[in-house]
Copies of this chain bind each other. A is one copy, B any other.
Amino acid sequence: MTPEEFRQAGYAVVDWIADYWATLPQRPVTSQDPPGTLAAGLPAGPPERGESVEAVLADLDKLIAPGLTHWQHPGFFGYFPANTSGPSVLGDLVSAGLGVQGMLWATGPACTELETVLLDWLAQALDLPEKFRSAGPGGGVIQDSASSATLVATLVALHRAAGGRWREVGVEGRYRVYASTEAHSSIEKAARIAGLGRDGVRLIEVDPQSRAMSVPALRAAIEADRAAGVVPALVVATVGTTSTTAIDPLPQIGPVCAEYGVFLHVDAAYAGAAAICPELRFGHAGLEYADSYCFDPHKWLLTGFDCDAFWVADAGELVEALTVLPEYLRNAATESGAVIDYRDWQVPLGRRFRALKLWFVLRWYGVEGLREHIRRGVTLAARFADRVRADDRFELVAPHPYGLVCFRLRGPDEANEQLLAAVSGTRRVLLTHTRVTGRHTLRLAVGAPQSTEVHVDEAWDIISGAAAGLVPPG
């Protein structure tokens, strides 16, 4: 494809996306196609000869779009949001066009340096502790996801816990990772990948009300493990758990980690973005104790997946844990010690120029624009929670400090399952569920860029209406 062919086809694809966004509110938020529908609609093999971009765009409309869950739809309130935005898409487009491979500083100097600077900008915007800025021994990097950040933190923690021997001998003896029972499944997955198995993770009980990690229970677990010859390697504290956005108490967890020399990683995948607003920084109290920290601009900060921002206080330790330097990657810049080679900060070797999308987003919206976006989400969630609170048939199951509201019908789990099914069946609104103290609970997470009061109110109307048949009038 020549540059001129790309120009013409590029306009057409830009138009397709603009039209897609403009028509999103009219589309059903989910597909009703049964499994296998798209697969059955595609040819059995690739075309032998080339086709036009128009033909592909036509199939995008005919075959792909009807089979999607529309994450940017104003009625999408499932999971956590996975925001994107125009400037993010444009930054990603530039990245794709440049086709730069940023594994080493030498293979993309500007790719590396923009990332370092942007992570400093973000740290400043969120008012993260100074130790995470690149001016000192710390610094930031973009990972694909919080799962990978947790994995990297686990590896550095093992490196430290084994006194540096881990690189050579691997997992020898027994190590333990601690997180609350409400923590994300990626912690167990990271421990499994790192060779600790499920037994290498100890899930610490939470306070029944706040759903936050019990610090006495954490201390007791660490002490019991030490007494049994198990080395406590890592505590993962969560700011904004997946089920209910509970906040583990860093000001109390931090000193325990310091006392026992345990690496502390703070996972604020969803809620960290809120800290761009000064009044929403409460979750970060005690963050100065953390050895590493991450949040996902790709969740709630208008930056498309994949963009997890991960910081460490000691980049040297991280590089020591992960680096392998074969001859074919040696170069003068690396050997000068004056540059960052981000391949040593992550699992894969290769890396895209992901800082561009963050740059486009920060410059288009400015910090003030991003604050507005977060505040709108919090306000919309509060508006929805007010509706729930005002209806005796329902109960709020947890506080809603951010953009997530957890609620349920007062009544059996079955009624709540039926409610979720009925709401989903309208295909106007997507909600997901969780369990809180064993009870089936509905989650409404605000954050899609197009969601407004209209859509939150529509969601409530649908939920409220669907509930009418399931419980006696309140």
A89 on the B face (CB < 8 A): yes
| A304:B99 contact, CB within 8 angstroms | yes
Given contacts A6-B89, A11-B14, 5 further A-B contacts (CB under 8 A): A11-B11, A51-B366, A53-B87, A71-B108, A147-B347
| B56:A364 contact, CB within 8 angstroms | yes
| B306:A352 contact, CB within 8 angstroms | yes
Pick the contact of A107: B69, B169, B189, B365 (CB < 8 A).
Answer: B69
A171 on the B face (CB < 8 A): yes
**Separation of A426 and B164 alpha carbons in the complex (Å):** 42
Interface string of A82-124 (1 = CB under 8 A from B): 1111111110111011111100011111110110110011101
| B10:A18 contact, CB within 8 angstroms | yes
- What residues on B are CB-neighbors of A53 within 8 Å? 87, 90, 360, 364
A285 on the B face (CB < 8 A): no
Given A93-B93, A170-B192, does the pair A46, B3 have CB atoms closer than 8 Å?
no
A437 on the B face (CB < 8 A): no
A63 on the B face (CB < 8 A): yes
Q: Which of A193-201, A257-265, A380-388, A395-403 forms contacts with chain B?
A: A193-201
Copies in the complex: 2
Interface residues of A in 155-213 (CB under 8 A from B): 155, 158, 166-171, 184-186, 188-189, 191-200
Considering the complex, give the chain B residue whose CB is closest to the CB of A337: B35
A148 on the B face (CB < 8 A): yes
Q: Which of A222-230, A247-255, A324-332, A452-460 forms contacts with chain B?
A: A324-332
Given A96-B304, A109-B68, A147-B350, does the pair A1, B56 have CB atoms closer than 8 Å?
no
- What residues on B are CB-neighbors of A356 within 8 Å? 64
30 pairs from A and B in contact (CB 8 Å cutoff): A3-B18, A3-B19, A3-B22, A6-B14, A6-B89, A7-B14, A7-B15, A17-B93, A17-B97, A31-B110, A33-B109, A35-B338, A38-B109, A38-B113, A42-B114, A49-B368, A53-B364, A64-B356, A69-B100, A69-B108, A71-B98, A93-B96, A145-B349, A148-B348, A168-B197, A170-B191, A194-B194, A195-B195, A306-B352, A328-B443
User: Chain A binding site: helix, strand, loop or mixed by DSSP?
Assistant: helix
Considering the complex, give the chain B residue whose CB is closest to the CB of A327: B435
Pick the contact of A348: B37, B42, B145, B167 (CB < 8 A).
Answer: B145
Nearest-CB distance from A301 to chain B (Å)? 12
Nearest-CB distance from A343 to chain B (Å)? 9
Interface residues of A in 7-55 (CB under 8 A from B): 7, 9-11, 13-22, 31, 33, 35-39, 42, 45-53, 55
| B328:A79 contact, CB within 8 angstroms | yes
**Separation of A125 and B43 alpha carbons in the complex (Å):** 13
| B121:A46 contact, CB within 8 angstroms | yes
| A107:B90 contact, CB within 8 angstroms | no
Nearest-CB distance from A375 to chain B (Å)? 15
**Separation of A349 and B68 alpha carbons in the complex (Å):** 18
Identify the interface centre among A67, A347, A348, A360: most chain B CB within 10 Å of its CB: A348
